[in-house]
Amino acid sequence: MTADLSYIRNFGICAHIDAGKTTCSERILFYTGKNYKIGEVHEGTATMDFLQEEQERGITIQSAATTCPWEYKGKEYKLNLIDTPGHVDFTIEVERSMRVLDGAVAVFDGKEGVEAQSETVWRQADRYKVPRLCFINKMDKVGASFEFSYGTMKTRLGANGVPIQTPIGLGHQHRGIVDLMTMKGYLFEGEHGEKIVEIEIPEDEIDVAKKYRAIMVEKIAELDDHLMGKFLEGQEPTVEEMKKVLRQATIERRCFPVLCGAALRNVGVQILIDSVVEYLPAPTEKPPVQGSDPSDKNVAMSRPHDPDAPFAGLVFKVVSDMHGDLTYVRVYSGKLGKGTRLLNPGNGKMENASRIFEMHAQNRIPLDEVTAGNIVAIVGIKNSYTGDTLCDADKPIILERMHFPEPVIAMAIEPKSQDDKRKLSEALSTIRREDPSFRYSFDDETGQTIIQGMGELHLEIIRNKLIRDMKINVETGKPKVSYREAISKKVEEVRGVHKKQSGGRGQFGDCTISIEPYTAEQAAEAELDFTDNIAFENEIVGGVIPKEFIPSIEYGVRTTAKTGVKFGYQLINAKISLTYGSYHDVDSSQIAFELAGSNALKEAVERAGPQLLEPIMKVVVTVPNDYLGNVTGDISSRRGMIVDTEDRDPVKMVSAEIPLSELFGYTTSLRGMSQGRASATMEFLEYRPMPAGMLKELLDEKAGGKGAKK
């Protein structure tokens, strides 16, 4: 296998649930020779869905990585492929994969086009500046439409899609594709479509092919001044010219080539792999990876994608294993040999890369060395987690971290025996290491352990993992919503004092703060740390509070905000400015200022119009016309607001915004009211103030449960 980085492609497959991502991945593994038979999702034999839960449910839960070879135009390429989940509860898996990929294939359902979760993964890819190919899959599905699906890319994603293929036949008639560059047709024959047969475009497909070729030529010409000049003069650009411009524009994310096929029927996948090589970037075609100096976070640094540069890699996934944790790392620069000592600049600890593996789903191939541009799993890493940097100890750098979504749902769990109790803490720590979107805490008042996640399915799978995989007997309560506190107005000059005199040395801390509603966008603009959605700004001048006590005040403020100020839920979306204070030469201490900061925040929130926020979910229901009235009426009864109804004959797609507290058991209820014919997807949208009546009910319930927090 060549060490030349230009022959490497790191790409992922991402899409809405059930668009056929894993089926595409299985075909890629088969055609590249990595697998000798094709695994099927519906049979529970897919290579990339190797967890028991995945095989039973027929969905992808965790991203799986593999490496496979591909020969293109007489040269051998190395493909590092990650298959990601489509279900919104596992969005963290997509998030961390996008952070380390150079390109992606976005898969769409040929009948449904762009769906709710397609928009989410598209936004994640935008956030990490990932170039994409679009593959309209399931052209063999009854009701499939290339024109409709292609149109939804513009209307729902605002994407500049460039069609480079059209299907030959639709639904049961689908049997091949037309290459619009060469205006040739291709059929996929043999038991697994492994034999590609070139044909002239069938008579009944000529008009459609000509129409989309004209669209393609014009769109490619718009991407380059030279080609636009030729186009305006009525000259046709050559295939080579068009491919060169299309490749560059795809890498720059100015356009997205659109292909089509039917992975389940083995149509179009080999040409999709060719297009990955042809249009998605090699590591060297991506900008240098950005980071900062560990000793001064304000000093920007970067690393080129070069094997000769100092080593730098990003941990993007940790999987607990009976033989030791597997730490997945994207190597951005330098070389790494097994047994090498590495620095984690985030916590200052040294790590030992005792063994290095190239992964094929859950199977491992040992390596002696890995170079820049590759994705590997390392054994021996003890203190590094998702988002951490590993680098050369003599040339440290902290790479940009990734975004982790906040959990929106919580559930109490209790171990059944003392032995289970001992095992539970370690098990939860292991799951947290693997899944940064999972949180857990211990409630002193109720004696319960509270687990938090992204949705009901997320928590259900974690519960099953504890019981089935980790053999811990636990009982679970009903899921509960994770509410948040916020303020509604700005308040200035709020004083917090902690004073204690009890003979001998006393305690004295005094600070004055102001508080105001704040957003992540404002924090980014002001370059303020917005950890846990709280910004803290030190405006002290003249040394009225010594510098060494400022971090204590911030710690007191942040700790109090995290545990809840008014209602017992985390405070978010606020900026606290430290403006004034005083100290005592003898009695002032760090703990005194920590408590003063806490007291100031409690008083400030009380004056700033505290309110309780509830998570609102974006729900998209696909419902046959016969049951539309039932569904819309039910949405209204759940305090939902319908924002859009789209006609996709013979069904309607209803987009609504509904409080999460009204959605427990919604999927079961929806099946009942539509005789099993409606389906729904949901994802977290935002936090909004809770109606006064609902707030009173919640606080009364909480007071009945364990005493309301004053």
The predicted structure's pLDDT at residue 90: 60
The whole-angstrom distance between residue 407's C-alpha and the CA centroid of its chain comes to: 13
The predicted structure's pLDDT at residue 708: 38
pLDDT band at 29; cut points 50, 70, 90: confident
Reference 118, options 143, 155, 147, 146; nearest CA is 155
333: helix, strand or coil: strand
Instruction: Report whether pLDDT(62) > 70.
Output: no
Please check whether residue 29 is in contact with residue 76, taking contact to mean a CB–CB distance below 8 angstroms: no
Mean pLDDT of the chain: 86
Average of per-residue pLDDT across 319-345? 87
Cα dihedral value 439, 121, 25, 193, nearest 10: 160
Extended strands (E) in 470-582: 474-481, 484-487, 491-500, 507-517, 534-538, 574-582
Instruction: Report whether pLDDT(227) > 80.
Output: yes
pLDDT band at 503; cut points 50, 70, 90: low
Please check whether residue 438 is in contact with residue 463, taking contact to mean a CB–CB distance below 8 angstroms: no
Task: Look up residue 122 and give its DSSP letter.
Answer: H
Average of per-residue pLDDT across 206-217? 96
DSSP string, 592-639: HHHHHHHHHHHHHHHHS-EEEEEEEEEEEEEEEGGGHHHHHHHHHHTT
Instruction: Report whether pLDDT(368) > 90.
Output: yes
More confident residue, 34 or 238: 238
Task: Look up residue 549 and give its DSSP letter.
Answer: G
Whole-angstrom distance, CA of residue 66 vs CA of residue 341: 25
More confident residue, 439 or 185: 185
pLDDT band at 631; cut points 50, 70, 90: very high
Please check whether residue 479 is in contact with residue 409, taking contact to mean a CB–CB distance below 8 angstroms: yes
pLDDT band at 500; cut points 50, 70, 90: confident
The predicted structure's pLDDT at residue 77: 94
Whole-angstrom distance, CA of residue 194 vs CA of residue 11: 22
The predicted structure's pLDDT at residue 48: 40
Instruction: Report whether pLDDT(668) > 90.
Output: no
More confident residue, 705 or 695: 695
- Phi first, then psi, for residue 307 (nearest 5°) are -65, -20
The predicted structure's pLDDT at residue 92: 67
The predicted structure's pLDDT at residue 458: 80
In the structure encoding, which two tokens stand for residue 180, read together?
């619009």
Kindly report whether the peptide bond that precedes residue 650 is cis, defined as omega within 30 degrees of 0: yes
The predicted structure's pLDDT at residue 709: 38
Asked whether the CA dihedral 452, 455, 460, 461 is positive or negative, the reply is negative
Least confident window among 110-114, 457-461, 632-636: 457-461
Average of per-residue pLDDT across 411-429? 86
More confident residue, 37 or 289: 289
Per the DSSP assignment, residues forming a β-bridge with 179 are: 165, 184
Please check whether residue 166 is in contact with residue 177, taking contact to mean a CB–CB distance below 8 angstroms: yes
Please check whether residue 271 is in contact with residue 259, taking contact to mean a CB–CB distance below 8 angstroms: yes
Please check whether residue 496 is in contact with residue 597, taking contact to mean a CB–CB distance below 8 angstroms: yes
Whole-angstrom distance, CA of residue 571 vs CA of residue 708: 16
Asked whether the CA dihedral 316, 321, 325, 326 is positive or negative, the reply is negative
**What share of the chain in percent tops pLDDT 70?**
90
Pairing mode of beta strands 103-109, 8-15? parallel
The predicted structure's pLDDT at residue 220: 96
Cα dihedral value 328, 331, 337, 338, nearest 10: -10
Least confident window among 158-167, 288-297, 505-514, 694-703: 694-703
Please check whether residue 196 is in contact with residue 188, taking contact to mean a CB–CB distance below 8 angstroms: yes
The predicted structure's pLDDT at residue 145: 95
183: left (phi over 0), alpha (psi -120 to 50) or beta: left
CA geometry: angle 511, 512, 518, nearest 5 deg: 120
Least confident window among 85-99, 177-191, 353-367, 419-433: 85-99
CA geometry: angle 289, 3, 66, nearest 5 deg: 75
Average of per-residue pLDDT across 659-677? 84
Per the DSSP assignment, residues forming a β-bridge with 508 are: 499
**pLDDT tens readout for residues 93-103:** 677 778 888 99
Least confident window among 99-113, 396-410, 460-474, 602-616: 396-410
The predicted structure's pLDDT at residue 91: 62
The predicted structure's pLDDT at residue 652: 87
The predicted structure's pLDDT at residue 383: 87
The predicted structure's pLDDT at residue 504: 64
pLDDT band at 636; cut points 50, 70, 90: very high
pLDDT band at 55; cut points 50, 70, 90: very low
Instruction: Report whether pLDDT(33) > 50.
Output: yes
**pLDDT tens readout for residues 398-414:** 998 776 767 778 788 88
**pLDDT tens readout for residues 638-650:** 999 999 998 877 7
Whole-angstrom distance, CA of residue 577 vs CA of residue 523: 13
Instruction: Report whether pLDDT(43) > 90.
Output: no
The predicted structure's pLDDT at residue 461: 81
The predicted structure's pLDDT at residue 153: 93
The predicted structure's pLDDT at residue 146: 96
Name every residue whose Cβ is closer than 8 Å to that of residue 134 and which is 6 or more positions away in sequence.
105, 106, 108, 153, 159, 161, 256, 257, 258, 259
In the structure encoding, which two tokens stand for residue 340, read together?
């090498």
DSSP string, 358-402: EEETTEEEEESEEETT-EEEEE---S--TT-EEE-TTS--EEPP-
pLDDT band at 51; cut points 50, 70, 90: very low
More confident residue, 87 or 701: 701
Instruction: Report whether pLDDT(378) > 50.
Output: yes
The predicted structure's pLDDT at residue 322: 63
In the structure encoding, which two tokens stand for residue 117, read together?
């979760």
The predicted structure's pLDDT at residue 524: 86
Instruction: Report whether pLDDT(359) > 60.
Output: yes
- pTM of the predicted model, to two decimals? 0.71
In the structure encoding, which two tokens stand for residue 650, read together?
């013979």
Cross-sheet strand order for the sheet of 409-415? 439-443, 448-453, 409-415, 474-481
More confident residue, 539 or 58: 539
Cα first-last separation, the chain: 65
Instruction: Report whether pLDDT(50) > 70.
Output: no
**pLDDT tens readout for residues 514-525:** 999 999 899 988
Please check whether residue 305 is in contact with residue 311, taking contact to mean a CB–CB distance below 8 angstroms: no
Please check whether residue 298 is in contact with residue 292, taking contact to mean a CB–CB distance below 8 angstroms: yes
Reference 489, options 609, 657, 590, 646; nearest CA is 609
Extended strands (E) in 503-570: 507-517, 534-538
